[in-house]
Amino acid sequence: MKVVFDTNVVVSACFWRGNPFGCLSAWARGELIASVSPQLLSEYFETFEELTTRYPGRKPVPWPHALAQSAEMVFPFDRARGATPDPDDEMVLECALAAEADFLVSGDKKHLLKLREFEGTKIVSCAELLARINPA
């Protein structure tokens, strides 16, 4: 199962436990294939650094570093202009398209999760992905 993690999922997993951490842990255990693009990876690192400064008392899990070393790198060619009201979300959709991802995993209820699907990639929450990995 190939996935693209939205930035909010990765940085949430860095600083807090819960479903985002469960999703990244599933990838680390080899239950998922994660794909990233250079642009998305850059955003992971920028946001990670911002939150590291904002929460100096927390010891974060360095998920962006792990993804940089071990995730599948893709180089988007097709664009997703206008696919979502938030232009910042376009790079995540473009990464999913280039990766031919089964799932884009996001916590963005306002824009991405409302789409539900983009060009054959299902857009799901962390809880939905975990339910698919470990069906009851």
Task: Give me the amino acid identity at 94.
Answer: E
In the prediction, which pLDDT does 11 show? 96
Banded pLDDT at 136 (limits 50, 70, 90): low
pLDDT confidence bin for 44, thresholds 50/70/90: very high
* pLDDT confidence of residue 88: 83
Per-residue pLDDT, averaged over 117-129, amounts to 96
Reported as a single tens digit per residue, the pLDDT across 57-92 is: 999 999 999 999 999 999 998 877 767 777 788 999
Given a cut of 90, whether residue 45 has pLDDT beyond it is yes
Structure confidence at residue 109 (pLDDT): 92
Share of the chain above pLDDT 90, in %: 85
Amino acid, res. 11 = V
Strands (E), the chain: 2-5, 33-36, 72-73, 103-105, 117-118, 121-124
Domains of the chain: 2-133 (3.40.50.1010)
- Is the pTM value of this prediction over 0.75? yes
